[in-house]
Each structure stands twice: as structure tokens, then as C-alpha cells.
Amino acid sequence: MKNFKLSSPVLVAALAMSASAVSAQDLTLTLGHAVFESHPFHDASVRFAEAVGEISEGSMTIDIFPARQMGDVKELMEGVQLGTVDMTVNSSSALATLTSSIDAFQLPYVMRTYEDFARMAVSPEAEAIMKSLSDHGMIGLGLYEGGQRHFLSTGEPVEELANFKGRKTRVAPTKLFLSVWQATGVNPTPMAYGEVYSGLETGAIDAVEINLTSIESEGLYEAAKNVTLTGHYFWPGIMLINQGVFDGLTEEQQGILQEAARSVVKPQVMAVAEYDEKLKVSLAEKGVNFTEATDAFVAELEEAWAPVVQDYADSDPLIADFIKQASASE
């Protein structure tokens, strides 16, 4: 992997406001994201930048600014919309506030494995959903993955649906996630992501639905020891580029960005799957207890979540098409 040198805040701002220096032969785009360099979204960014450089034979460069150097999730999304930021990789859950069809990517058990996700991420149905972002000044170039979600809890392990009842569980405060988790009987508890560790430690919450990468990077294994491997949905990120910036490129440059974004989807997604397996070993060594969700437990969850999935399918034909194709691919 290439090393991307970080510039001063002044230069970062100047690069962002300039909206890129473009000529017939040379193109430099800035890509800011909100996660640390250990996160899968940074890996997606680096893989994309390398692919762009290779396909363009060095005439196109992607400068990456990680870890909120160009703003947090909301600021980066707004920056891409306005054109003050060229590109970002942003959580799909944040984008669902702009176009509800994005929720298709996080409906429970619509995609079950990383192989399912990699296949559906480049499907016509996924591309149709991302295309709806053009109504908001952005182009969705690619769909990547941050880590399949599981259930981390204090107290007794969760082994059946009844064990969820009343557990104070931190979930992202969106309509979709509140509907999903209310259906299981937990007590959804809104809480800032940065407060999850202290919440588990103090008992303000009993559990959190989360990915293994975050359990490791945030040190949550110190405050909660039980992980039930439910694999209920994924945590996708969408690579976005400002509509005006994209439209201002040559047809060849546009094609290079699209080819690069698509080419790295499967390698990036499967790298997260491999990392998950390593994390299971390292977290177990740190005292985390893993419980595999049984077929009976998964069936209980499917039954509880079926009305939620159906409601979303009924609400938007793009969501319905995505669900239908995902089910046909199983």
C-alpha cells in the first residue's frame, strides 16, 4: 500500500475549497473521511486510490485525509453536496436521511454473508439505489463494508429471543434501527457512539449492537464480555463524489473512477471478513465469550423482523427490488 502524506490544516482547507485541479492529463481529487486508518473504510479509500493511480497510469491522484481532518460524518456529507469536498466514504445510515431507499442495505438478514454483500454491492439494484443520491448533488461510486453487526452485552449471554427482553441497548437513533430493535423486545437507548464504553461500564446500558472491529478499536471488550454472533446486518459505507466535480471530468476520467471503485469492492469486503476471523481469536484471548446464534435463534429473529422488512419493501420499489434480488441470490 502507498503511504499518503498528510498536509497542514491550512492546505487541507485550500485543497477542499479549490474543488480539485483538473486538466486534460492530470487530476487530483481530495477524499476525506471520518474514521481512523485502522478502519475498513480507510482501507476502501486506499484500495480505491491505488486502483485509480494504476488504471490512469499515474495521471489521476486521490489525496486521502482520514480521521476527521476535513470534518466529521455530517460535515463531510454536506461538504460533498456543496462541492467544498470532492469525495468521501460515508456511512450509509447517515445517507438514509437524504434518500430512504438506502435503508435497503441494512435491513436485517436481507444479506447474510460477506459473499452476499460483495455480490449485491455491485448489482444493478444497488446501483439504482445509489443513483438516487444524484438528487442531492452527489454520485455514489461504490458500496463498501465496515463490518457485520453482532450483539455485545454484559450479564448473561443472549442465546434466544427472550433474552433480549428489557435489555438497555444502544442503537443508532434512526427510524430503521429503532424499528428493528424494538421488534426484539430490547429497550433501545439513544447514546452517542463515544459514550458507549462508559455506558457499558456504568450500567447506563446493558448492551450494544456493533461490529467486531469497533469492539476491538474502542476497547469495549473491557466493559462487556459476551458477544452473540447474530450477524444481523452490515455497516456499509458509500464512496461519494460531488456531482459537479464528476460532471466536469472527461468521459475517460469518469470511467476510470467508476472502474476503480467497482474493482475494489470484493477485495475490500472479503478483507473485512478475514479481519473478523482474526478478531474472534484476539478478542477471545482478551476474555470475550463468543456465542454462535443457533438456527432456532436466527429463525426467531427472522420472524420478529419480517414485518419490519416487509414495511420497508412496501414503502419503496427500489428497496423491494433489492430485497428480491438478494433473496434470489442466496
Instruction: Give residue 25's pLDDT.
Output: 56
Q: Which residue has cell 437507548?
A: 189
Q: Summarize pLDDT for 116-129 with one digit per residue, the tens.
A: 999 999 999 999 99
Q: Summarize pLDDT for 310-329 with one digit per residue, the tens.
A: 999 999 999 999 999 999 86
Please say if the pLDDT value at position 20 is more than 50.
Answer: no
Rounded to the nearest angstrom, the gap between the alpha carbon of residue 109 and the centroid of all alpha carbons in its chain is 16
Rounded Cα distance between 130 and 132, Å, is 5
Mean pLDDT along residues 32-48: 93
DSSP output for 144-207: EE---EEEEESSSPP-SGGGGTT-EEE---SHHHHHHHHTTT-EEE---GGGHHHHHHHTS-SE
How high is the mean pLDDT of the chain?
A: 92
Please say if the pLDDT value at position 195 is more than 60.
Answer: yes
On whether the pTM is more than 0.85, the answer is yes
Secondary element (H or E) of residue 265: helix 265-285
Rounded Cα distance between 78 and 63, Å, is 19
Mean pLDDT along residues 19-42: 79
Secondary element (H or E) of residue 63: strand 60-65
Q: How confident is the model at residue 11 (pLDDT cuts 50, 70, 90)?
A: very low
Please say if the pLDDT value at position 273 is more than 70.
Answer: yes
Please say if the pLDDT value at position 179 is more than 90.
Answer: yes
Q: How confident is the model at residue 165 (pLDDT cuts 50, 70, 90)?
A: very high
* Contact predicate 224/287, CB 8 Å: no
Instruction: Give residue 10's pLDDT.
Output: 41
Instruction: Give residue 194's pLDDT.
Output: 79
Cβ-based neighbours of 58, under 8 Å, separated by 6 or more:
none
**Single-letter code of the amino acid located at 153:** S
Q: How confident is the model at residue 330 (pLDDT cuts 50, 70, 90)?
A: low
Report which DSSP code applies to 84.
Answer: S
Please say if the pLDDT value at position 152 is more than 50.
Answer: yes
Instruction: Give residue 3's pLDDT.
Output: 39
Q: Summarize pLDDT for 208-225 with one digit per residue, the tens.
A: 999 998 899 889 999 999
| 3-state SS, residue 240 | strand
Instruction: Give residue 229's pLDDT.
Output: 98
| 3-state SS, residue 229 | strand
Please say if the pLDDT value at position 18 is more than 70.
Answer: no
Residue 1 CA: distances (Å) to CA of 43, 144, 228: 10, 18, 34
Angle at 305 between CA 103 and CA 189, to 5 degrees: 75
